[in-house]
Amino acid sequence: MKTITLEQIEQLEKRYRTNLINCLSGVKGLNLIGTKNAEGQTNLALFNSVVHLGANPPLMGFIQRPASVERHTFENIQNTSFFTINSVSEDIHKQAHQTAARYDRSESEFEEVSLKSIYIDEFYAPFVQESPLKIGLECVDIIPIPYNNTHLIVGKIQLIQLDDNFLQPDGFLSLHDQKIVGGTGLDSYLSTQEIGRYSYAKPDLPLTDIQP
């Protein structure tokens, strides 16, 4: 086993350090965030920092990196408040990866990577048609993290579009059966496979398997 100290971490080459630190948090969800500016220009970007923040009210969030370069997703959310979160499946993971390229503001990643934008129930921001799980959100808070100049973008869920063939009676939504992928680091994509689902943990009861 190798031990790496903070001093050594700070001395690592930038790209090496970025890859290493991004791997430490384990397998992460990968999502395409869709936005549209006030002039109607659409934008699509891949994020690996989407998190569940609460079920009542239904909140999700993601980390926006420092504005050292133009951040079209962040600017669009600041100006319009609306964004979409779209799961990445095996079928579109290469196109999702390509959205990380720094396209000009006037170029829509939807068109550049050949993904289709769709609108659902007149929601302002565009969804990814090819995504198996689509979520529309309204930004309710932007929380600055001064230590590294990032922001936590907090959104309240306004609508969900999903395939109810994968929705179980207790509200559990199977993601692995839809071939939704995860990732590690900045460039590794992983298929997912469920290895178990168990009863609610209580100190005086043994775990039982939940059957599909």
pLDDT digits (tens, 9 = 90+) for 96-155: 999 999 898 889 999 999 999 999 999 999 999 999 999 999 999 999 999 999 999 999
- Shortest CA distance to 49 belongs to which of 151, 137, 162, 192? 151
Q: In whole angstroms, what is the distance from residue 18 CA to residue 12 CA?
A: 9
Among candidates 156, 167, 99, which has minimal Cα distance to 132?
Answer: 167
**54-68, 162-176, 196-210: segment of lowest average pLDDT:** 196-210
Place of tokens 């923040």: 53
CA-to-CA distance for 46 and 183, rounded, in angstroms? Answer: 11
The residues near 29 (Cβ < 8 Å, ≥ 6 apart) are 48, 50, 87, 182, 183
Q: CA-to-CA distance for 126 and 35, rounded, in angstroms? A: 6
Residue 211 scores a pLDDT above 90: no
HEC-encoded secondary structure of 63-103? EECCCCCCCHHHHHHHHHCEEEEEECEHHHHHHHHHCCCCC
Query: Is the full-model pTM beyond 0.85?
Result: yes
**For position 52, what pLDDT does the model report?**
96
Check pLDDT > 70 for residue 69: no
* Average confidence (pLDDT) over 29-45: 95
